[in-house]
A and B are shown apart, each in its own frame.
Chain A
């Protein structure tokens, strides 16, 4: 009897979804479009850095050095100038991101035993790019000074890269986008649905029926779990086929963990819905609570290991953190539950934590 009540609620929710084909279309097409554009757009390697070069030395040696910069794929030497005081203006006009200043005594000092200095100035407005630019330039000069004059480096460095030997950004980014889109869709859908029932007053009608609170929650969540899962399969397959992201692990495991991840996304949505009373606030809260943390704290782009300690702790309660390890592990490395169990356990714990909180808040409200 009670079981059938819960199914009725789920069926009612399904009908709601089906009755609104425009929402359904938006929900399927938008993630696809986003995956397509972001898969191409998101690329962290910095190439073609606009560079200004001020050569005060003007010798074959300095011209030779500039030639190295011109030949590097990382830099576009777009400005040559003779007066170092012009650097400021170039930065202000945003013509260059970095400037190299070759001092007048460069060639002479290079021939001496002390070695020559070279000026590197970067525009710190974009701190990330500035750091990368500075590193590129310093390494370039360092390796040139050691391998010049046909000597070759006295050691030979051999590099082997596993799992993504061509260093394709898309292989890393596509699973990240899956994680980002799923958590947002999952949380948004659920929180808004329940808030809508509250807003229109139908929640009270459901609550006075003999159905139990957890059944209300399950009945509301299940249809969206199915919908979000369909979206998940859709975009993962698309990423796999279009961007040729490898799938070294098992599809079955990936799908299973996708469900687990969606479940935690839904629990966040449920929790939000118990905190608010209108759709507007539910939407605002879901957006604000999922977008930036999932992008910035999950390891989507920035490695968690580099964050300050307290934030590493915070990142652990963000479901995307764990799902990212799982989906990247399965797709790119061929990991299975044997290697991934810490992330799986953590993701489950996060989901249970949120659902407990949601049910507790829900019952609090009832009283």
Chain B
């Protein structure tokens, strides 16, 4: 035990000796939290729209007015003679255009179903779909109010309209603040970088400069060397997490409803998986550069397949299967549920079980490989 402790002390000293490293571990992530916490707003807004009102009647102006007052769309005053609309979209001046035809007001009054045209730039399919949703929403509300006004004058029409008014509420995050959702995600990514990459690099570096061989000829067992290489980074990881969480709670007012001791236990299990991966990577490579590429590969794959940015439900089946071995997937879910809903073990046990299985397997595999490589 004492031997392990010496190794841990040495490793911690080595990492903290370099002020640059400390900055990278603690200052840079805080800047990122600060910036990225604001970056992603759930609402897709300020989308540029061009409106061609070819009717220019009281009715059509009322419709244009509704678009101008919409907080999600920004009406751009651009000329829109024939052929120019496509040009504006091609050049990226606007994302979408709405064409109100001539005699729109008159046709609507006579129930002749005037045709409104919406032209969209489909490059970003997601934004396009959302923008189309906004337009439809405004048009529907316009029609509803228009009908309601008409129904006031015509009782027969009034009987045939059936209004459904949705009353929406959101639980756990009533204001739909995306920060509440981003902070846990960013914390887990930072934790992965520190524990996986640093562990892997620390081992490979010793191998590169030959000091690992020196360690191996000492009476230390493989297990002790691994403990000495992982405990310091687990410690740093915890420190970082505490740091980032405090920051999130104090600055962004992220609520933590759930139990902190439970969070600590779950984080420890998560760190087991990333440390195991770090050691595993180190046994696969010869140089720090190779270790970096492998760690990079795991990191980017974990992040993009974690459900942090894209819902996992939408991925094709075989990709969903891959996500089952992604520890980050479970940890992000744990953080969100625990932070916002206060979920306990009764709900989170499947995640815990999955993480434990992954962690124990990868750690065992990595240790065995490490020992075999050391013996060779």
Contact = CB atoms under 8 A, between A and B. Distances in A.
Interface residues of A, number: 125
Given A145-B144, A155-B139, A171 B123 contact: yes
A149 B166 CA distance: 19
B343 interface: yes
Interface string A315-355: 00000000001001100110100010000000000000000
B265 interface: no
Contacts of A117: 164-167
A125 B92 contact: no
Contact of A127 (B133, B180, B300, B316): B180
A311 B35 contact: yes
Given A41-B304, A92-B347, A184-B296, A329 B197 contact: no
Contacts of B141: 142
A125 B336 contact: yes
A171 B122 CA distance: 10
B357 interface: no
B120 A159 contact: yes
Given A284-B25, A292-B32, A91 B178 contact: no
Contact of B164 (A48, A142, A325, A329): A142
A121 B169 contact: yes
B129 A45 contact: yes
B289 A196 contact: yes
B292 interface: yes
Given A135-B137, A155-B116, A163-B122, A115 B163 contact: yes
Interface string B335-371: 0110011010001000000000000000000000000
A332 B122 CA distance: 9
Among B116, B135, B171, B305: residue with most chain A CB under 10 A:
B171
B292 A131 contact: no
A49 to B, nearest CB: 8
A22 B147 CA distance: 69
B115 interface: yes
Contacts of B190: 288
A146 B143 contact: yes
B285 interface: yes
B177 A127 contact: yes
B256 interface: no
Contact of B133 (A135, A163, A314): A135
Given A139-B137, A154-B143, A307-B41, A116 B164 contact: yes
A110 B181 CA distance: 37
A238 to B, nearest CB: 17
A260 to B, nearest CB: 19
Interface in A286-313: 287-289, 291-293, 295-297, 301-303, 305-308, 310-311
Tell me which of A130, A168, A284 has the highest count of chain B C-beta atoms within 10 A of its own C-beta: A284
A102 B124 CA distance: 35
B92 A339 contact: yes
A122 B171 contact: yes
Contacts of B319: 37, 40-41
Given A92-B343, A143-B140, A149 B125 contact: no
A123 interface: yes
A203 interface: no
Interface string B294-307: 10110111011100
Interface string A276-290: 111111011101110
B125 A167 contact: yes
B50 to A, nearest CB: 13
Contact of A115 (B21, B29, B140, B164): B164
Interface stretch (B83-91, B216-224, B243-251): B83-91
A207 interface: no
A281 B136 contact: no
A167 B139 contact: no
Contacts of B158: 113
B289 A192 contact: yes
Interface in B79-110: 86, 89-92, 108
B46 A305 contact: yes
Contacts of A48: 313-314
A94 interface: yes
Interface in A157-208: 157-165, 167-169, 171-172, 180-181, 184, 188, 192, 196
A128 interface: yes
A169 B125 contact: yes
A364 interface: no
B235 to A, nearest CB: 17
B308 to A, nearest CB: 9
Nearest to A43: B314
B113 A154 contact: yes
Given A46-B314, A306-B43, A280 B121 contact: no
B127 interface: yes
Nearest to B167: A117
17 contacts: A40-B316, A42-B309, A117-B164, A119-B169, A125-B181, A127-B177, A127-B180, A145-B161, A153-B143, A172-B123, A180-B300, A278-B21, A283-B197, A288-B32, A306-B45, A306-B46, A307-B40
Interface of B: 18, 20-21, 24-25, 28-29, 32, 35-36, 38-48, 74, 86, 89-92, 108, 111, 113-130, 132-133, 135-137, 139-141, 143-144, 146-147, 151, 158, 160-174, 176-178, 180-181, 186, 189-190, 193, 197-198, 201-202, 205, 285-290, 292-294, 296-297, 299-301, 303-305, 309-311, 313-316, 319, 322, 336-337, 340-341, 343, 347
Given A139-B136, A142-B144, 11 more contacts: A23-B289, A116-B162, A130-B173, A139-B140, A162-B86, A276-B20, A279-B205, A280-B288, A288-B28, A295-B309, A297-B36
Interface of A: 20, 22-23, 26-27, 30, 33-34, 37-38, 40-50, 65, 88, 91-94, 110-111, 113-132, 134-139, 141-146, 148-149, 151-165, 167-169, 171-172, 180-181, 184, 188, 192, 196, 275-281, 283-285, 287-289, 291-293, 295-297, 301-303, 305-308, 310-311, 314, 325, 328-329, 332-333, 335, 339
In the complex, the 5 A-B pairs of residues with the closest C-beta atoms, listed nearest first:
A115-B163, A124-B173, A164-B122, A44-B126, A161-B122
